């Protein structure tokens, strides 16, 4: 059954986040031949609309307002509800990002609808869309169908492949004027704690360090390897607790959940709480001095050795491949 599906585009540091395109791809499947409408919300965001069309949206609705310069659940909630009222979608797809996790329950509550969150795949079987999502920190998978009229899902970054970019795609871009009522909270300042670079939750390559890295300086060889591979640096809670890096880099049950194409774990023992955040990575490489370390049980490739010898060697070899 063809249906209209709405997605929310996310912008960070002046670029559309890749998960916006993955949401469009998921929406295309759910639309089942129907229309995919992307909502673009912010202070001055119209210029991003064409890119959403190239990535598969049939139409873009732009809501611009100075009160939407920074994300607030209040402001974006009002904007999104106005788009939903105008478009009356039968499906909604957000990214399972910090923003999507915050906003989707609010919108679902207002619409009195269900919500299937953290979806990693969508399949159509027997007239139903079946959504797979990890549960119990990735130790099991649950398959769900939406029994409401509205199918509302959030998709985990890096799992549903985005469509090929195609500049020949065309689509209508319209503006919706929304009177954003006074916000109960406003963002006064954003203080960045980590260096700019590849976003951990969307990175295709992650080089992560644990307590075995031994100091903040010990992260330098990992940063070099990540740079050569165009990836991001992550960490175990052990490394964060020891003060070697910021908690924003923490991966695991109480940190970020990541699914890169390549995860290189350096000096990480592989505690269950760490595995909860990275065991769904496509290829896992573990470097550890201890051949019995638990991380080797989930690794596709294991290197038993001192990370301070192995990591620089890998960096040198990858540099040669790039030349």
Question: What are the backbone dihedrals phi and psi of residue 162, each rounded to the nearest 5 degrees, phi first?
Answer: -70, 160
Decide: is 278 part of the binding site for ligand FAD (CB under 6 A): no
Instruction: Tell me: does residue 172 bind ligand FAD (CB under 6 A).
Output: no
Residue 238 contacts ligand FAD per CB under 6 A: yes
CB of 257 to ligand FAD, least distance (A): 9
**Beta-carbon neighbour count of residue 313 at 10 Å?**
13
User: Under the criterion CB under 6 A, does residue 269 sit at the interface with ligand FAD?
Assistant: yes
Does residue 236 interact with ligand FAD by CB under 6 A?
yes
Query: What is the C-alpha to C-alpha distance for residues 17 and 55, in angstroms, rounded to an integer?
Result: 12
Separation of CA 214 from chain center: 29
- Rank residues 25 and 268 by Cβ distance to ligand FAD and give the closer one: 268
List C-alpha distances in Å: 136 to 133, 141, 255. Answer: 10, 8, 15
Strand-pairing partners, residue 155, are 95, 119
Q: Is residue 250 within 8 Å of 256, Cβ to Cβ?
A: yes
Residue with smaller CB distance to ligand FAD, 31 or 239: 239
Minimum distance of ligand FAD from residue 107's CB (angstroms): 28
Based on CB atoms, which residue is closest to ligand FAD, 77 or 209?
209
Two tokens, residue 205 = 């390559």
3-state percent helix, strand, coil for the chain, nearest multiple of 5:
35, 25, 40
Quick one: 279 or 288, whose CB is closer to ligand FAD?
A: 288
- Cβ–Cβ under 8 Å, residues 294 and 271: yes
Which of 288, 298, 302, 315 binds ligand FAD (CB under 6 A)? It is: 288
Q: Where does this chain bind ligand FAD (CB under 6 A)?
A: 210-212, 236-239, 250, 252-255, 267-269, 271, 273-274, 277, 287-290, 293, 306-308
Known binding-site residue numbers for FAD: 211, 236-237, 250-254, 267-274, 288
């Amino acid at each position: 059954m063809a249906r209209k599906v709405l997605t929310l585009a996310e912008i960070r540091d002046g670029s559309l986040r890749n998960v916006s395109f993955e949401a469009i791809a998921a929406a295309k499947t759910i639309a089942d031949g129907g229309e995919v409408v992307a909502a673009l919300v912010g202070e001055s965001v119209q210029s991003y609309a064409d890119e959403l069309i190239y990535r598969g949206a049939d139409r873009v609705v732009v809501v611009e307002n100075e009160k939407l310069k920074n994300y607030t659940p209040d402001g974006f909630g009002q904007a999104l509800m106005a788009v939903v009222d105008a478009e009356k979608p039968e499906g909604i797809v957000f990214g399972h990002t910090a923003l999507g996790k915050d906003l989707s329950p609010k919108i679902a509550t207002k619409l009195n609808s269900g919500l299937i969150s953290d979806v990693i795949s969508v399949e159509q079987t027997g007239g139903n869309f079946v959504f797979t999502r990890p549960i119990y920190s990735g130790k099991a998978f649950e398959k769900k169908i939406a029994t409401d009229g509205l199918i509302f899902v959030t998709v985990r970054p890096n799992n549903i492949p985005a469509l090929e970019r195609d500049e020949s795609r065309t689509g209508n871009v319209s503006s919706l004027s929304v009177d954003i009522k006074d916000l109960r909270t406003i963002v006064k300042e954003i203080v960045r704690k980590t260096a700019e670079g590849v976003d951990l939750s969307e990175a295709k390559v992650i080089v992560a360090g644990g307590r075995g890295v031994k100091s903040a300086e010990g992260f330098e060889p990992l940063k070099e390897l990540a740079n050569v591979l165009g990836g991001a640096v992550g960490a175990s809670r052990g490394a964060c607790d020891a003060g070697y890096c910021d908690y924003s880099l923490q991966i695991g049950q109480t940190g970020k959940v990541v699914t890169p194409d390549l995860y290189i774990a350096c000096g990480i023992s592989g505690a269950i709480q760490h595995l909860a955040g990275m065991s769904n990575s496509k290829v896992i490489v573990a470097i550890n001095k201890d051949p019995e370390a638990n991380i080797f049980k989930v690794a596709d490739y294991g290197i038993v050795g001192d990370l301070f010898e192995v990591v620089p060697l890998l960096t040198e070899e990858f540099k040669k491949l790039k030349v």
